[in-house]
Amino acid sequence: MSEKVFQLIPKVQNYAWGKYGSDSKVAELISNAYPEIEIDEKNKYAELWMGTHPNGPSIKRSTGESLKNILLTDPELLTTEIASKYNGDLPFLFKVLSIRKALSIQAHPDKKLAEYLYQNFPDKYKDDNHKPEMAIALTPFEGLCGFRPLSNIKKNLNDYPEIKDVIGQETIKEFMETIDDTNSPNLMDYERNKNALKKLYKSLMEQDHTIIKTQLDKLINRISSTNPNPKKGTLDELLIRIESQYPGDVGLFSIFLLNYVSLKPGESLYLAANEPHAYISGDCIECMATSDNVVRAGLTPKFKDVETLVDMLTYTCKSADNQIVTGDPYLQSNTTILYNPPIEEFSILCTELSPEIIKTETFEGIKGPSIILITEGHGRIIYNEKIFDACKGSIFFIGANTQITLEAVDSKTIFYRAYAELSKFH
């Protein structure tokens, strides 16, 4: 029988948008707990992967075995139900992201669309799974998430005439005359608004690149002359900053249509299927269903699938505040917060302990597998009279139905725990 608790070595991903060296939370965490992983200050450290995904599988630190092989050998670590449903894999992929440069404007397909894309375009879409995901800020974090309220979109279209020349004056006129931004509950009004916004976005994303670049240059030149020092987080500042990263990219005009969201540490975003989003800057915990399906349409040199993106989006309009999720106390705990998205693949617990206030917390066995990451301080994980040293950056697998105690050693210690439990909906 396999050990129920053991330390993992994660996979580091050095993508172009990552932060350099020790500026990266990814590098900060792994250098503290895994001195065998050497940090190059000139390299970019973008993501830390914890799980069984084939593009970045975790391994057991003490033996070098892959986590996937361990789980295939002993399905009880997952529960037989989860092992059967997910073919011996973890249902989730747990990550840390460190973002220096904006990621692409993208959406993730739902399960039905993912299956279609994988079947018909396997060279572009590598698996048939959906990819709902959640991001929890570790540092001040910026992103774009979902379409703005219609009244806000109308205001931006009027305030920035350059976008009208990109989308087309006739399409803009039709949009302004069609939409009803009173949040009417009438289904016909909702569908009319949705179709008008879809037509607007389609016209933008399919515009000729020469027109996009011409109008973008005009826009940046105008802002630079009339508002040379815009306040951070304003439309003007975002446009200037991201244009310097992706000059001439059509994705910049999406900033007028999508919500800008600024998260404080501990605040989170849940990104459901078929919702447009882009991370802009900061460090975060991220968890997602085990998939790499991304439909991109801007702020990227990678393959853009504009047709699929335009057709798949829900075109639901909400305010920025409605995109932000805060956790709830876990089982009436004073030290643990639960982030619980409406899917079965994962939930996330955040436990904060300190010797001065509450030093330990014991957890009954969760009915599924979990991975714990220590993001701050120095702790211990206690299981069956065994004590595991859990310094900042260390990562542990916890098998299903395993009671553990978390403990802070000498300072405030924060544990993030991703887990899957099929019974959450039963």
Q: In this structure, are 316 and 340 located in the same domain?
A: no
Cα torsion 243, 245, 247, 248 to 10°: value is -80
CA distance to 122, 311, 361, 383, per residue, from 401 (Å): 37, 42, 16, 12
Of 192, 296, 380, 417, catalytic: 296
Judgement on whether residues 305 and 251 belong to the same structural domain of the protein: yes
Q: Distance between CA 63 and CA 83 in Å, rounded?
A: 22
Check the annotation: does 133 bind a ligand: yes
> Where residue 315 sits, what CATH number does that domain have?
1.10.441.10
- The number of distinct structural domains making up the chain is 2
According to the model, what pLDDT value does residue 167 have?
A: 94
Chain center to CA of 66 = 25
* Domain contains 234: yes
Domain interval for residue 349: 331-425
Pair (303, 413) in one structural domain: no
Low-confidence ranges of the chain (pLDDT < 50): 426
Neighbours of 389 (CB within 10 A): 12
378 annotated to a ligand binding site = no
Tokens encoding 358: 């509450």
318 shares its domain with 348: no
* Spatial CA neighbour of 282 closest among 50, 102, 414: 102
Same structural domain, 379 and 302: no
Pair 300, 338 in one domain: no
- Asked whether residue 162 falls in the same domain as residue 298, the answer is yes
The reply, when asked if residue 108 is annotated as ligand binding, is yes
Annotation-wise, does 41 bind a ligand?
A: no
At 187 the pLDDT is: 67
Same-domain pairing of 214 and 258: yes
Do 249 and 304 have their domain in common? yes
Q: Do residues 299 and 150 share a domain?
A: yes
State which of 264, 299, 325 marks the end of a domain: 325
Cβ neighbours of 278 (radius 10 Å): 24
- Considering the domain architecture, whether residues 364 and 278 belong to the same structural domain is answered as no
Last residue of a domain, one of 279, 298, 325: 325
Told to judge if 417 belongs to the known catalytic residues of this protein, a careful annotator would answer no
CA 265 – CA 177 distance, rounded (Å): 41
Say whether both 199 and 314 belong to one domain: yes
Cα separation of 258 and 236, whole Å? 14
User: Last residue of a domain, which of 272, 300, 325?
Assistant: 325
Residue 383 lies in a domain: yes
Determine whether 415 is exposed, middle or buried from the number of CB atoms within 10 Å of its CB (0-12, 13-18, 19+).
buried
